[in-house]
A = this chain, B = another copy of it.
Amino acid sequence: PRRVTWRRGLDLNDRALRHVVTGLGNGTVRETGFDITVASEVMAIFCLATSLENLQQRLAKIVIGESDPEHGRRMQITAADLKAVGAMTALLKDALRPNLVQTLEGTPAFVHGGPFANIAHGCNSVLATQTALGLADIVVTEAGFGADLGAEKFLDIKCRAVGLEPAACVVVATVRALKMHGGVAKDDLAAEDTAAVRRGASNLRRHVENMRGFGLPLVVALNGFRDDTPAEIETVRAICNDLDVPLEPCTHWADGGAGAEGLAGQVVALCGSHTAPFQPLYELDLPLAEKLRTIARKLYRAADISLTPGAAKTLANLERDGYGRLPVCIAKTQYSFTTDPDAKGAPEGFILPVREIRLAAGAGFVVALCGDILTMPGLPRYPAALDMRVDAAGALHGLD
The residues of A with any CB-CB pair to B shorter than 8 Å are 2-3, 8, 10, 14-31, 52-53, 56, 83-87, 89-90, 93, 306, 308-309, 339-340, 351, 353, 355, 371-372, 385-390, 392, 394, 396-399
Query: Per DSSP, are chain A's interface residues mostly helix, strand or loop, or mixed?
Result: mixed
- Whether B52 and A27, one on each chain, are in contact in the complex, defined by CB atoms closer than 8 angstroms, is no
CB of B306 within 8 A of CB of A389, answer: no
Closest to A308 in B: B353
Q: Is the CB of B21 within 8 A of A389?
A: no
Q: A20-B20, A21-B24, A308-B353 are in contact. Are A93 and B15 (CB under 8 A)?
A: no
Indicate which residue in B15, B386, B390 contacts A26 across the interface (CB closer than 8 Å): B15
A29 touches B31 (CB 8 A): yes
16 cross-chain CB contacts under 8 A: A3-B27, A15-B26, A16-B30, A19-B25, A20-B21, A29-B30, A52-B394, A53-B392, A83-B385, A86-B385, A86-B390, A86-B398, A90-B389, A93-B390, A306-B351, A309-B371
Complex Cα spacing A18 to B29, Å: 11
Q: CB < 8 Å: which of B30, B53, B83 contacts A386?
A: B83
Q: When chains A and B are docked, how far (Å) is the Cα of A19 from the Cα of B31?
A: 12
Q: Chain B residues with Cβ under 8 A from A308's Cβ?
A: 353, 355
Partner of A22, one of B17, B25, B85, B309: B17
**Which 4 pairs, one residue from A and one from B, show the smallest C-beta to C-beta distance?**
A86-B389, A87-B385, A19-B24, A21-B21
Given contacts A15-B26, A31-B25, A353-B308, contact A390 B83 (CB under 8 A): no
Q: Which residues of B contact A24 (CB under 8 A)?
A: 18-21, 24, 31
Closest partner residue, chain B, to A350 (CB atom): B306
A306 partner residues in chain B, CB cutoff 8 A: 306, 351, 353
Nearest B residue to A85 by beta-carbon distance? B389
Chain B, residue nearest A397 (CB):
B86
- CB contacts (< 8 Å) of A26 on chain B: these are 15-16, 18-19
**How far apart are the CA atoms of A394 and B306 in the complex, in Å?**
46
A52 x B86 contact (CB < 8 A): no
Q: Is the CB of A22 within 8 A of B23?
A: no
Please determine whether A25 and B21 come into contact, CB atoms closer than 8 angstroms: no
The distance from the CB of A380 to the nearest CB of chain B, in whole angstroms, is 14
Can you name the residue of chain B whose Cβ is closest to the Cβ of A395?
Answer: B93
Given A29-B29, A306-B306, A309-B371, is A20 in contact with B18 using a C-beta cutoff of 8 Å? Answer: no
Provide the residues of chain B in CB contact with A396, threshold 8 Å. 90, 93
**Residue among A17, A56, A355 facing the most chain B CB atoms (10 A cut-off):** A17
- A14 partner residues in chain B, CB cutoff 8 A: 8
- Write the nearest CB–CB distance from A370 to chain B, whole angstroms: 11
Chain B residues within 8 Å of A31, by CB: 24-25, 29
Partner of A390, one of B56, B340, B353, B399: B56
Judging by beta carbons under 8 Å apart, are B28 and A16 in contact? yes
**Structural contact, A90 and B390, CB atoms closer than 8 A:** yes
Chain B nearest Cβ from A377, distance in angstroms: 12
Min CB gap A259→B, angstroms: 33
